[in-house]
Amino acid sequence: MHRSRPARTLLMTLAALTALTTTACGNTQDPNDDEPAPATSPRDRPTTSRSAPQPPSSSPADGTDAGACTDGNCEIAVTEPVTIRFPAPGDAGRATLSVTKVGPNEIEYEVKSGNNRSNGGASGPGQGCLTYLRDRGSGNSCGTLDPARPSPRPGAVVIQATTGTDGTALLHIVSP
């Protein structure tokens, strides 16, 4: 009887490991879907894994001029809270991006457009958030990001905020 107990334990352990491996390898997202699903809370936000993070560009295309973003296309560095207004997608008028917190490896912001609101926040080296703002809603994806300019999306304004180790965050706003 002592021999069957270890064999039974081994079989149960192998069955549990097989179940865990199968679950861990599952992918419910369409591999062709580049846009994140809207997240309902910070713990539900998916992380984005890309190439090794790099520090923000030392000379963003538009420097620190938040006024360069009023047309909906810019790359700026921010070191303190700032509010930026730019064209919203569709017929929603103007959208507002309010950076509420910036620090070493940290950024928090809120985006408003019509009745839509979206919050983003990241902390840690190479961390950031992407917000896809559409005329009928928005979605966030936060995690490790490459600070390179995001690609434009039809019908969406893309906002990317990437943390910097020196307390400077890099913001991209990309309109279609």
In sequence order, the 6+-apart residues with CB closer than 8 A to the CB of 90 are 134, 135, 136, 155
pTM: 0.67
Give pLDDT tens digits along the chain (176 positions).
454 555 444 444 444 433 333 333 333 333 333 444 444 333 343 333 333 334 444 589 999 999 999 999 999 999 999 999 999 988 778 999 999 999 999 999 999 988 888 999 999 998 999 999 988 888 899 999 877 889 999 999 999 999 999 999 999 999 98
- What is the residue whose two structure tokens read 């360069």? 68
Gap between the Cα atoms of 103 and 77, Å rounded: 12
Gap between the Cα atoms of 31 and 75, Å rounded: 29
